Structure 1
Amino acid sequence: MTTKPFTLRWGIIGTGGISTRFSKDLLVDPSTRGVYDVAHKIAAVGSRSVASAQKFLDTIAASDIAPFNWGPAHGVLDGAKAHGSYEEVYNDPNVDAVYVGTPHVYHHANAKAALLAGKNVLCEKPFTLDVAELDELIAIAKEKNLFLMEAVWTRFHPIAFAVQDVLKSGKLGKPVRMSADFSMNFEPDTRPDSNRMIDPKLAGGSLLDQGPYPALWAMLAFHHHPDNKDADPKVVASYQRIYERSGVDAASHWIVEWKGLGQAHCVTDMAASGYNDASVVITCRQGDLVLNFPPWKPTKLSIVPHGIYEPGTIQERSVQEFTVHPGDGMHYEADEVARCISKGLKESPRVPLAESRITQGWLDAVRRAGGSVLKDTVGTAGK
């Protein structure tokens, strides 16, 4: 007897690039990634006008290219409503969970409104502008008995689980330090003042936009390691290079220490390219674990011997190659949300709220210690 999958009905907030990618991944046949217990429907889309929301729905429905053509042919978009406001999505009785894909300065207000309306929430990274905003969202979710998760999609990719399996196996020995670098030349001088990476009003700069990716690899390498005893790792040093045109950070560096285990050096840069072969390097006692660029979707996990002056037990280089199943890879986090809600869970064991709070605290610390125009910016908690 075949069990019918649990189907989660999504409301999409925002119609920009990230919402497009997420929504298109909901159109991919779950069986192509070995998923049979959960499924997805897009029940509603909210934008500034009904026309804009309908255009979004028409665009994703019109795709005749695999793997995104499966969904429209199998009812994923059936009955989807185009709403001319976010509030109509929050109040739509056919919506179970809201995906917040708006610019990150609006994450708190959008997620808060959705929770207050009784909807479960998946909120894009960075979760909020500051910890105070996040604390308010967590309190509302708990009061309302609702599911809440930060959309750290890379944590659900097969390569992320493989990294942890290697580290937990002990074959590399203890991790002692790591670097995680998301540097990518966005050519900021060619962008308009209103660009999300440039505009202080949108909390532009590299830290908030790119910072969650180095942070996630640091958490997987150290915080989840069996030998970790430090429940609240802190930023012990940081530096920001300022983009003078608008005063946001062009680059941010910070070091986090897990007492008794090791340190992570995290880097973001929107004006320089990163090293393609080694976006993440985890140095362990017996050898190194290396991931290639990009840090949001690496494809190669390399085990690399130490140099001749510090030999370890790893003698030969090995490489494992990974790909996400058909789609962009955002469907993995959607599957997690559906599974958690189907089981009555209010947060994900893979991305618990306590861990999102830790990494949000790092971003706060780096921003407030730096010299950008956002240094003293306070979010909208309590408003």
Structure 2
Amino acid sequence: MEPHTIRWGIISTGGIATTFSKDLLVDPATRGVTEVAHKIAAVGSRSIPSAQAFIDKLKAAPGVSSWGVESGALDDAKAYGSYDEVYADPNVDVVYIGTPHPFHHQNAKAALLAGKNVLCEKPFVMDLAELDELIAIAKENKVFLMEAVWTRFQPIAYAVQEALRSGKLGRPRRVIAEMSSFARIDERSDDDRIINPQLGGGALLDLAPYSAVWSMLALHQHPENTDTEPRVLDFSQRIYKRNGVDEMSAFTVKWEGLGEARLLTDLAAWPARDNACVIDCEKGQLIIDHPLYRPERFRIVPHPNAVAGSSESEDITEETEFRFPNTTGNGMQYEADHVALCLRDGKLESDRMPLAESRVVQGWFDTVRKGGDSALKDWRHTAGK
């Protein structure tokens, strides 16, 4: 049986859109996928030459992405000088939005109103009101909508959840997760998206989704969790004085009856390489390496006193490690496959990345952003506009 081929429209020609598009061109067979395939039908930019240069660059991409070029996945790709032309193209099944996050709401809204399915980069939007409007439009137009939290779809993410649900570790009690990056912000220009408040700059919205994803997988999706609306207990921010964005954000979230997560992101430091995320459970710990957006290893380790022969030692007494090397593509191909399967099956929402869970995390970000002192504190959302 021929695979179900999904035709993508790419919005934006920046770095994240380039990475995603290259992963669409990787042979699905290298990851054991036979049911779906991908083609790039259209690329939208601010000018036709810019969109065409993006397509030409993909055609010249070396390595694993060359398979898609040779297989014709770019043969019919059209270069458009506007996003609206991508939304109107009848050959586009789903739109991938890779613009800076302050534009996500407007771009996704236009695509949904045009009747297109949408995969929108994280963070989904700038404010929960924007997300609620997108969800309402998607439901009204009966089209698929999902936030592109690509880490959720990598094989290691499923393996971590399988280990947590096996019972070997017992109930999870706490998650400590850090996604930080020494971004050399003093060397960046004021218009750099990492520190430009008009582009949603700062640590919280850019990096915290990767800290949050592991708490959602470990605690929120745990079979014993009954708290569907975990709340932020406390938070702190360090403000970058030059332009007022948050250089660091840290916050604690509590799931009543299960556990807590302490989430940290910082633009002025690196996390520990071999324990960027520690999930402490009753009988041991599950520890995930940096970088949390695409880790390649996790370990199950005994508690310190279990090694010495305490009552806990009968369950986990030795460290074991599990490796998931990224050998084909960058890792975004897995979420693309998931979207393709959802569309093939006529789903309007992902069960792996449900909209309700995007709302939960967006609510955390709103609490920290609006309660802090960064330049984004009083950001005016575009819902209803």
Superposition TM-score, scaled by structure 2 size: 0.97
Question: Deviating runs (4+, > 4 A) in structure 1?
Answer: none
Equivalence for 2:377: 375
In the alignment, the residues of structure 1 paired with residue 296 and residue 68 of structure 2 have an alpha-carbon distance, to the nearest angstrom, of 26
Equivalence for 1:320: 322
Equivalence for 2:45: 47
Identify the match of residue 80 of structure 2 among 80, 83, 87.
83
Aligned to 1:320, what secondary structure does the other structure show?
strand
> Structure 1 residue 365 and structure 2 residue 363: aligned?
no
Equivalent residue runs for 1:1-383 within 5 Å: 3-63=1-61, 65-308=62-305, 311=310, 312=312, 313-383=315-385
In the alignment, the residues of structure 2 paired with residue 130 and residue 233 of structure 1 have an alpha-carbon distance, to the nearest angstrom, of 17
Q: Could you tell me which amino acid in structure 2 is paired with residue 189 of structure 1?
A: D
In the alignment, the residues of structure 2 paired with residue 217 and residue 370 of structure 1 have an alpha-carbon distance, to the nearest angstrom, of 24
Aligned to 2:369, what secondary structure does the other structure show?
helix
1:50-73 Cα offsets, whole Å, 9 max, x none, are 00000000001012x221110111
Shift of 1:216: 0.7
Is the Cα–Cα contact under 8 Å of residues 41 and 77 in structure 1 kept in the other structure? yes
In the alignment, the residues of structure 2 paired with residue 37 and residue 324 of structure 1 have an alpha-carbon distance, to the nearest angstrom, of 21
Aligned to 1:68, what secondary structure does the other structure show?
helix
In the alignment, the residues of structure 1 paired with residue 325 and residue 150 of structure 2 have an alpha-carbon distance, to the nearest angstrom, of 14
Give unpaired runs (5+ residues) of structure 2: none
Name the % identity. 58
In the alignment, the residues of structure 1 paired with residue 344 and residue 270 of structure 2 have an alpha-carbon distance, to the nearest angstrom, of 42
How many residue pairs end up in the alignment?
380
In the alignment, the residues of structure 2 paired with residue 341 and residue 237 of structure 1 have an alpha-carbon distance, to the nearest angstrom, of 39
Q: Could you tell me which amino acid in structure 1 is paired with residue 338 of structure 2?
A: E
Shift of 1:103: 0.3
Give unpaired runs (5+ residues) of structure 1: none
Aligned to 1:183, what secondary structure does the other structure show?
coil
Shift of 1:325: 4.6
In the alignment, the residues of structure 1 paired with residue 116 and residue 31 of structure 2 have an alpha-carbon distance, to the nearest angstrom, of 27
Q: Could you tell me which amino acid in structure 2 is paired with residue 274 of structure 1?
A: P
Aligned to 2:264, what secondary structure does the other structure show?
strand
Shift of 1:323: 1.9
Shift of 1:324: 3.2
In the alignment, the residues of structure 1 paired with residue 226 and residue 9 of structure 2 have an alpha-carbon distance, to the nearest angstrom, of 39
Aligned to 1:167, what secondary structure does the other structure show?
helix
Aligned to 2:37, what secondary structure does the other structure show?
strand
1:196-220 Cα offsets, whole Å, 9 max, x none, are 1111101100000001111110000
1:302-321 Cα offsets, whole Å, 9 max, x none, are 01111127942311011111
1:169-212 Cα offsets, whole Å, 9 max, x none, are 11011110110101110010000000111111011000000011
